[in-house]
């Protein structure tokens, strides 16, 4: 598979949503032109995005809605169960935990974590909120694929580091800050009691995928483009061929 642009993945998610809507309306076939009109892109862009992953249509007949939906679910990894922990169970974390659509796409919440004495021990969506100090043991004893981070910005880096150290390899970050590896400062080398060199936090982060969901940044972009609608990206033009 050639390198796939991040924007193409985002568009696949949009195509999948459109296919689900078509399926609920009992529409069995669609086309690149129809998908393009509904997604706000060009038909050429639809065909190009899908071509990264194979050939799904039939010339002159378009796409089977059911088959294309199934294939996009496979490509996006939504045909398997993903076990998720939520770190930060304040109002935002609880809203995420109670969102009804996650289970439709095989996202299963298996653990909730916080540091607040007022929240630890409470029941949210049939799960007991645990202290984040228990996260490492929990991940070791349970299959955890990803974590959602919903803590205040000043706590985000420490919470993210706790997730990565525990073995969580994918983080959906709702905090409006950049998270990532932080080198140990003030010392060039640290050793354990048995003399082994300790890894810094950067080693823990190798292979960790972070996706950021920044509502405030989105609001700022919306304000700018509302004032300057002519600067908003226009659809990709049709391929002259």
Feature table: binding site: 88-93
Residues 37 and 175: their CA atoms lie apart, in Å, by 34
Task: Please measure the distance between the N-terminal and C-terminal CA atoms of the chain and give it in whole angstroms.
Answer: 24
**3-class secondary-structure state, position 225:** helix
Question: What is the chain's Cα-based Rg?
Answer: 22
Q: Of 159, 157, 156, 180, nearest to 113 (Cα)?
A: 159
Cα angle 75, 171, 145 (rounded to 5 degrees) comes to 60
Q: Looking at the DSSP assignment, which residues form a beta bridge with residue 113? A: 87, 130
Q: Of 126, 131, 194, nearest to 166 (Cα)?
A: 131
Q: Are strands 146-149 and 123-124 parallel, antiparallel or unpaired?
A: unpaired
Residues 6 or more apart from 119 whose CB is under 8 A from it? 89, 90, 129
Count other C-beta atoms under 10 Å from residue 17's C-beta: 13
Q: Which residues are annotated as a binding site for NAD(+)?
A: 88-93
Residues 6 or more apart from 121 whose CB is under 8 A from it? 128, 129
């Amino acid at each position: 598979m050639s390198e796939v642009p991040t924007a193409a993945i985002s568009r696949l998610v949009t195509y999948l949503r459109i296919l689900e809507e078509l399926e609920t309306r009992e529409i069995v076939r669609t086309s690149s032109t129809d998908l393009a009109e509904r997604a706000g892109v060009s038909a050429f862009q639809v065909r190009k995005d899908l071509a990264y992953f194979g050939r799904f249509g039939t010339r002159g007949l378009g796409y089977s809605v059911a088959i294309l939906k199934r294939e996009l679910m496979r490509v996006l990894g939504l045909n398997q169960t993903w076990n998720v922990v939520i770190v930060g169970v304040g109002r935002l974390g609880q809203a995420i935990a109670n969102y009804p659509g996650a289970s439709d796409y095989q996202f299963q919440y298996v653990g909730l974590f916080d540091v607040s004495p007022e929240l630890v021990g409470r029941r949210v969506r049939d799960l007991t909120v645990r202290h984040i100090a228990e996260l490492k043991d929990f991940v070791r004893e349970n299959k955890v694929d990803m974590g959602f981070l919903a803590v205040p910005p000043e706590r985000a880096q420490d919470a993210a580091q706790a997730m990565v150290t525990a073995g969580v390899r994918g983080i959906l970050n709702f905090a409006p800050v950049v998270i990532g590896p932080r080198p140990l400062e003030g010392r060039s080398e640290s050793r354990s009691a048995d003399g082994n060199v300790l890894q810094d936090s950067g080693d823990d982060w190798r292979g960790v995928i972070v996706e950021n969901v920044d509502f405030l940044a989105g609001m700022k972009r919306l304000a700018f483009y509302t004032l300057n609608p002519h600067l908003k990206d226009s659809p990709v033009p049709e391929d002259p061929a």
